[in-house]
Amino acid sequence: MTNSLSPPLVNGHSNDCAELIQQLEQLSRRFSNLLQLLKQERSALMLSHLEELEQLSEQKSQLTREIQKQEAHLAAYLEPEAADPLHTPRPIALGSRLHQWIKRQSSYDQQKLEPVHTSLGTVMEECKLHNTVNGKIVHRSQQTVSELLRILHGTAGESLYDAQGTANHSATGATLAQA
pLDDT value at 93 more than 90? no
Stretch 64-71: mean pLDDT: 93
Q: What is the pLDDT of residues 118-139, one digit of tens each?
A: 999 999 999 999 999 999 998 8
Crossing angle of the two packed helices 94-103 and 50-78, in degrees rounded to 10 = 40
Q: Which segments of 7-156 does DSSP mark as H helices, in order? A: 15-47, 50-78, 94-103, 107-153
- Backbone φ and ψ for 9, nearest 5 degrees, come out as -100, 140
In the beta sheet, which residues pair with residue 160? Answer: 168
Mean of pLDDT values over 6-34: 77
pLDDT band at 14 (very low <50, low <70, confident <90, very high): low
Which pLDDT does position 166 carry in this prediction? 73
Does pLDDT of 140 surpass 80? yes
Average pLDDT, integer, range 94-98:
80
Separation of first and last alpha carbons in the chain: 94
Tell me the CATH architecture of domain 12-130.
Up-down Bundle (1.20)
- Decide: pTM greater than 0.85: no
CB atoms within 10 A of CB 70: 16
Domain positions in the chain are: 12-130
